[in-house]
Amino acid sequence: MNAPYHHGDLRAAALEMGMERLASQVQPDLGLRALARDLGVSATALYRHFPNKDALLDALALEGLDRLGQSQAEAADAAGGGLPGFAEVGVTYVEWAVQHPALLRLIYARVGKVDLATPDPSAMGEAFRQLRKGIAEKMPGDLAPEERAAATLHAWSLVHGLAMLILDGQIEYDPAMVRKVVLITEFRDS
C-alpha cells in the first residue's frame, strides 16, 4: 500500500490511487470513504474534490479513456501512422482492455452515449480521437457524416467486441489471433 497522502494535489492522488485499485480488479468496485482512509485524509477532504462516488467514478472513467487513447497514439506512431498505425490502434485497444478489465468496464458504464458522427471529436476523449483519426486516414476525402459514423462504429465494434469476448471468458486471449482479426478487417476493407 502507498504511503498516506500529505501535501499537494489531493484530487490527482485520489485518481492515481483509484487507478491502482482498479488495476487489481476484474469488476470496478471503489468507495470514497475507503479511498480517503487509505490516502490518510478525512472523507470530507475528499468530498471537496468529488462530491459523491459518481463524480469519482466519472473522473476515473475519463482518465482511463485518455490513458487508453495515449496508448493507442503511441502504438500508431510507433507503426508509422497510416493504415499500419490504424491497425495498431485496434490491437492496442484489445491489449489494453485485457490489461485493465475493471477500468474498461468502468469507462463504458460511465461515459454515456457517444455521438460517432459529431464533427467535434475533441468532446470524445483521446481514445475516440484516435479512432476518428484512423478512420480519416483510412477513408480520406469528404465522407458524409453517416458514412464516417458507420466506418467508426465498424472499427470500434470489432475491437470492443473482441475485447469483451476475451474479458467475459468466451474466447482465450491470443495476441497473435487478435492481430490477425484486426488486420484482416482493417486491410480488406480498404
**CATH 1.10.357.10 domain residues, the chain:** 61-188
Q: What is the rounded average pLDDT for all residues in the chain? A: 83
As a whole number of angstroms, the distance between CA 76 and CA 82 comes to 8
Mean of the pLDDT values across residues 14-20?
91
Q: Average of pLDDT values for 81-94?
A: 91
The pLDDT assigned to 118 comes to 59
10-53 CATH: 1.10.10
Is residue 155 within a helix (H) or strand (E), and if so which, with residue range? helix 145-167
CA distance linking residue 54 with residue 103, whole number of Å: 15
Nearest-CA neighbor of 114 among 85, 152, 141?
152
Sequence ranges of the chain with CATH classification 1.10.10: 10-53
- Which pLDDT belongs to residue 190? 47
**pLDDT given at position 30:** 83
All three cell numbers of 20, joined, read 491502482
Q: Report yes or no: 13 and 39 within 8 Å, Cβ to Cβ.
A: yes
DSSP letter string over 108-131?
A: HHHS----TT-S-GGGGHHHHHHH
CATH number corresponding to 61-188: 1.10.357.10
CB burial string 164-178: b at 16+ within 10 A, e below: bebbeeeeebeeeeb
- Cell numbers that stand for 31 in this block: 468507495
C-alpha torsion sign, points 136, 140, 146, 151:
negative
Say how far apart CA 31 and CA 53 lie, in whole Å. 7
pTM greater than 0.95 (yes/no): no
pLDDT tens string 118-164: 555 555 667 777 777 777 777 666 777 778 778 888 888 999 999 99
- The three cell numbers of residue 175 are 495476441
Contacts of 52 (CB under 8 A, 6+ apart): 32
pLDDT at 24: 82
For the stretch 127-138, pLDDT in tens is 777 777 777 777
Q: Identify whether the C-beta of residue 137 lies closer than 8 Å to the C-beta of residue 81.
A: yes
Nearest to 182 by CA among 166, 163, 159: 159
